[in-house]
Amino acid sequence: MVQEVKPAIINNSLLQRSRSLQGISFIGLSLPAAMLVAAVLIIPFSWLAWLSLFDATGNLSTENYVRLLRPAYVESFLTTFKVAGLVTAICVLLGYPVAYLLSQLPQRAAQILMVFVILPFWTSVLVRTYAWLVLLQRQGIINQWLLSSGLISEPLPLVHNMTGTVIGMVHVMLPFLILPLYASMKAIDPVLLRAAANCGASPAQAFRQVFLPLSLSGLSAGIALTFVLCLGFYLTPALLGGGRVAMWSTQIADMVAKFANWGAASALSVVLLIVTGAILGGVNRFMRVSNAWGGKP
């Protein structure tokens, strides 16, 4: 009896030691990543949160957060989400057919066309924004073509307003929706569609009942990525909006550059970051974005 108990005790001791070594190894391997997250996220966010608690005179106060309840800030907050939602919706309408086409083409043709999707990344966002400014202005190529073709009698206001801002942001954000969506679509086994066809489903039914549900994880990932990037996008709204499209990103820049009010800018940043985190958490919880990256639901 004693001889049977000793091996069990030894095995439990070895198992506990193995678990301890695994825990130490996990901590050692995750420490560099934890330090990186602390350096680029936790420390800067803590610094912003600390600055937001001081008013313009350097005294501890909640003035910066109370200021956000003013109508101008509420309106700009709603404008930020309106622009982000509109740009994301247009990117979905344009990007889903493109990603679907790329996923159905032969590998060689898809690789060639994919170059045109990632081609904008080779050019600075500033250059692309100024290019749209030249194209959309009252004497720009688009208005001149519309006038010469007789479709309009006077130039259309396409810049320094919501229209120009949305057009420019869609051009910048579209690849961020196509890429994760294309990766998700390529992972769908074509045998499933053939099986649906063998069961009597039409191509439209096979797409609606098989392909579309399987691509929702990539679509939700692209929507979340595009929407979050739009919330904090500054350059294109500032140039194509012409100061008439007040988003929180432009207000943060104005607080620092024009008024040197770091407390108010920090409060705007903290609230925007918290809202962005809540959106990502909600999307990951209800739309299971983690499935697109191989995570567990």
- The tokens describing 101, both together, are 């086409």
- The tokens describing 140, both together, are 């720009």
CA distance 296 to 282: 15
**Phi, psi for 185 (deg, rounded to 5):** -70, -35
- What pLDDT does 178 receive? 93
φ/ψ region of 61 (left if φ > 0, alpha if ψ in -120 to 50, else beta) reads beta
- What pLDDT does 292 receive? 44
Q: Are 226 and 191 in contact (CB under 8 A)?
A: no
- The tokens describing 200, both together, are 């009597």
CA distance 133 to 125: 12
CA distance 161 to 239: 10
CA distance 282 to 275: 10
Q: Which long-range contacts (CB under 8 A, 24 or more apart) does 42-49 make?
A: 45/270, 45/273, 48/266, 48/269, 48/270, 48/273, 49/266, 49/270
- The tokens describing 39, both together, are 């350096």
- What pLDDT does 13 receive? 61
> What residue ranges of the chain have pLDDT lower than 50?
1-3, 5, 289-290, 292-297
- What pLDDT does 2 receive? 46
- The tokens describing 136, both together, are 């959309």
- What pLDDT does 295 receive? 42
φ/ψ region of 156 (left if φ > 0, alpha if ψ in -120 to 50, else beta) reads beta
CA distance 48 to 264: 10
- What pLDDT does 173 receive? 93
